[in-house]
Amino acid sequence: MQKRKLGNKLEVSALGLGCMGMSFSYGVVHDEQEMISLIRAAVDRGITFFDTAEVYGPYTNEVLVGKALAPVREKVVIATKFGFNITPDGKPGSHGLNSRPEHIKEACEGSLKRLQISVIDLYYQHRVDPEVPIEEVAGAVKDLIREGKVKHFGLSEAGVQTIRRAHAVLPVTALQSEYSLWWRKPEAEVLPTLEELGIGMVPYSPLGRGFLTGKMDENTELGSGDFRSTLPRFSPEARKANKAIVDLLGAIAKRKNATPAQIALAWLLAQKPWIVPIPGTTKLSRLEENIGAVAIELTADDLREIDAAASKIKVEGNRYPEHLEKMTGR
């Protein structure tokens, strides 16, 4: 497995593993032992970067990741996130934001226990809290780094001004935000800012929450517990319209003897050497398919062709409902 550096200092595998879907968001809670085996299979295949958050479950995903990685702790980089009040119902979007410094420190202690670790390798603010100046957030994480409880500071879905203000207090190692062939907004302002400041990019949903794999269409049934059923981009009409982007990936994949998912990931990897996607999966076959993307070389001509074709496709549907979209880009 190739390695990449986030923030010029945190070395991780070129592809990470997003663990959220193993216990949260997609309507199915998977067998714990099977998911532990899958995470360990990822380690065996060279993946060293694992992503979770306290709100996934809530809490259960951190417990799972902690159990899975305990025997190989020294080989891996574990990222988790803070920034929500956890409410008893555990429904997506029902938790209010809370990045007060005292809450961050409490959240850190909980995550350390659940993950069975003494230090969090990369600690992200999950969403920017408009009630708390980002300087105070960065200051709280700086204290945790000084205490040896955190190694690196990250932000998630933050806007350019927030990134700059945070970075001035405490160097930001990575920004985690959605980025893929069907969500390219970060290219306008965010990616140039990250390049200027030497901050890594960790794209979540690099396969469009499964849509870019080519395994979904307008007839795919999404269960009521599946988070995607609440997203405008996953309405049957939007999925039908957005098939054009999957067809584009399929055409390139055929030529490269690859799959649409592999082309989607290879495209992201080709954008910048400091981009590390974190596709999630619950299946060993998909894990291996995703890892195969690292070996795929897209030439400058390939990338120009993809860009030219993608620029003619209008992706339909907002990526989040309004109340969740308001939490991004602050």
Structural tokens at position 77: 């980089």
CA-to-CA distance for 66 and 303, rounded, in angstroms? Answer: 38
CA-to-CA distance for 14 and 12, rounded, in angstroms? Answer: 6
Q: Which residue has the tokens 């809450």?
A: 103
CA dist 215 → 184, 221, 232, 239 (Å): 21, 12, 19, 11
Annotation marks residue 56 as catalytic = yes
Among residues 56, 59, 123, 124, the one annotated as catalytic is 56
State residue 13 phi and psi, 5-degree precision. -65, 150
Does residue 58 have a cis peptide bond before it, meaning omega lies within 30 degrees of 0? yes
| Ordered DSSP codes for 111-126 | HHHHHT-SSEEEEEES
Q: Angle at Cα 54 formed by Cα 52 and Cα 60, nearest 5°?
A: 80
CA-to-CA distance for 203 and 234, rounded, in angstroms? Answer: 19
**Cβ partners under 8 Å of residue 145, min gap 6:** 151, 152, 153, 170
CA-to-CA distance for 178 and 157, rounded, in angstroms? Answer: 7
Going through 70-192 in order, the beta strands assigned E by DSSP cover 77-82, 120-125, 150-156, 172-178
Q: Which helix (H) or strand (E) covers residue 322, if one does?
A: helix 322-325
CA-to-CA distance for 213 and 9, rounded, in angstroms? Answer: 32
CA-to-CA distance for 305 and 204, rounded, in angstroms? Answer: 24
Structural tokens at position 127: 């969403």
* In contact, 10 and 300? CB cutoff 8 Å: no
The residues carrying an active-site annotation are 56
